[in-house]
A and B are shown apart, each in its own frame.
Chain A
């Protein structure tokens, strides 16, 4: 019973790639896995329990130890700064964080405002650039902010750049490359060392093979 590994998986964009990766690593995941609406899925053959979570919440579950492992984007890791082990770069769901805005515009000098889903990352980035900005946190459709005049710039994820183009925005600066990471609770990393190391090794083999 204590051998069960609980894995927090991000719903949405990353999920399919992450599930594929586990399958390639030789784990038998049922087909219903991909289109289920359940939030918790037990896979008895592998002694796994999956928690399907909002991507932003994955590191929270792992830090508190209700999930032993998780798959989380580096963007989320940077924003949340949770006390968890970041063991593997899975090299999936590659994208990057960038500063964008309407073409030929400048940051307002008196009250430079940034809209973002990542207030900590955005504030830290501009601080390093030597400017203090005002952050406005939005929960989605960040691209709207400059168009309707809420802020001069946004900080958001860019994968293909299509969304920016379609909304008439241009990218100004790239902040950091993002891929998904395998993260582990520090206690689980010790108490379930064998199973976790085995999983890490198997997944690592797949990741390396894909790279080549």
Chain B
């Protein structure tokens, strides 16, 4: 292995320079405030978790986990998402009374990748988990809050696609008979391979009516109008409950007044086994990847010993910034350049300006090699040098 250069970082790691930091900070603050106003409480969990518990319960593929050993020989992971740690915390500490919990986070998660650039291995997520409520109202609140956050962040053009994994499973099992055969077909949706899906369906020994039903399933994308189509396809059985859910969700979204931002897409399968009900993804114009995703995961809490439902979502800050496009203006800092004999005056002026809300640095003029470069860097320069008087440059 060749020796590393000073400027190198591990694959997929990024720095945030002041302007990016500032942009991120402003956007996060807006969303943070909105989340709090919806009554969610922020928490923090450790960066490292046990592989056996949180690592295994996480929705992230094993090969994407960063693993290391602690001194006792336990395998640890850098948290690959925030949902599993929050499920651990909620199940072990917080879920004592029979009351729904609303928790929020803003944290970095870690996912190893070896493929190529454009995919950070560490990125920030802001998100919420709504635990202990199995009603569709909880799903609706998640979607409405996500939309509200995208609005507050200032994303211009975006859309949410909403699916229901319970419908997919019930519908496929109704036609195909077993879970294994249903899963085999679901995998094509997960891989977004419609061509493979159609070929697979054509090769199944089914009546032509059932084959047509499976082909027609791919068309279940759109607004409220797909709900009767879905009822027609499923005919009867447990899948109708899922469509009832979607109808109810639509009514809830109407009550929130956010239906224009939402489309149904019943072919949406964002994970093979993690989600259990309504799930959704958010897309923004100009960004090639989803900027956020979420859904109901009623089986996760059981892995930590609590049998209760939960739903939540996460927004990826890096993709969100891409959607916003422009960076924050270089920050508006004022500079007071002083010489030794007027130091106290400089400090007092700075104190006063800071009290007025300005960002102020005080700089000993002897500490600056290049005064011209220094003056260019700041919005306003105040010179407190020499005997008396004050000169404001710029």
Physical interaction between A and B: yes
A interface residues, Cβ below 8 angstroms from B: 2, 63-66, 83-89, 181, 185-187, 190-191, 193
Q: Do residues B195 and A88 form an inter-chain contact, with CB atoms below 8 A? A: yes
Interface residue B157 (Cβ < 8 Å from any Cβ of A): yes
A87-B194 in contact given A64-B288, A187-B289 (Cβ < 8 Å): yes
Contacts of B263 in A (CB 8 A): 190, 193
Which of A2, A65, A187, A193 gathers the greatest number of chain B CB atoms within 10 Å?
A187
Contacts of A89 in B (CB 8 A): 195, 198-199
Given the known inter-chain contacts A64-B118, A190-B263, A191-B157, please indicate yes or no for A2 contacting B285, CB distance below 8 A.
Answer: yes
Residues of chain B lying within 8 A (CB to CB) of residue A86: 192-196
Interface of A is mostly: mixed
Total cross-chain contacts (CB, 8 A): 50
- Give A177 Cβ to nearest chain B Cβ, in Å: 10
When C-beta atoms are compared, the residue in chain B nearest to A89 turns out to be B195
Are B195 and A65 in contact, CB atoms less than 8 angstroms apart?
Answer: no
For the complex, what is the distance from the CA of A185 to the CA of B287, rounded to whole Å? 10
Nearest Cβ in chain A — how far from B246, in angstroms?
A: 17
With a CB–CB cut-off of 8 A, which chain A residues contact B285?
2, 191
Enumerate chain B interface residues (CB-CB to A < 8 A). Answer: 118, 157, 159, 161, 192-196, 198-199, 221, 263, 265, 283-285, 287-290
A84 to B196: give the CA distance in the assembly, Å.
13
Question: For B159, what are the chain A residues with a Cβ–Cβ distance below 8 Å?
Answer: 190-191
**Cβ 8 A contact of A66, one of B193, B196, B288:** B288
Tell me which of B192, B289, B290 has the highest count of chain A C-beta atoms within 10 A of its own C-beta: B192
Instruction: Say whether A65 contacts B288, CB under 8 Å.
Output: yes
Specify the chain A residue showing the minimal Cβ separation from B222.
A193
In the complex, what distance in Å separates the CA atom of A87 from the CA atom of B192? 8
A88 to B218: give the CA distance in the assembly, Å: 12
Question: Of A186, A190, A191, A193, which contacts B192 at CB under 8 A?
Answer: A186
Complex CA–CA separation, A64 to B288 (angstroms): 5
Contact in complex: A85, B192 (CB < 8 Å)? yes
CA distance A187 to B284 in the complex (A): 7
- Contact yes or no, B193 A190, CB < 8 A: no
Question: Is A187 a contact partner of B196 (Cβ separation < 8 A)?
Answer: no
Closest to A184 in B: B192
Q: List 16 A-B contacts (CB under 8 A).
A: A2-B157, A65-B288, A85-B192, A85-B193, A86-B196, A87-B194, A88-B195, A89-B198, A186-B192, A186-B289, A187-B283, A187-B287, A190-B265, A191-B157, A191-B159, A193-B263
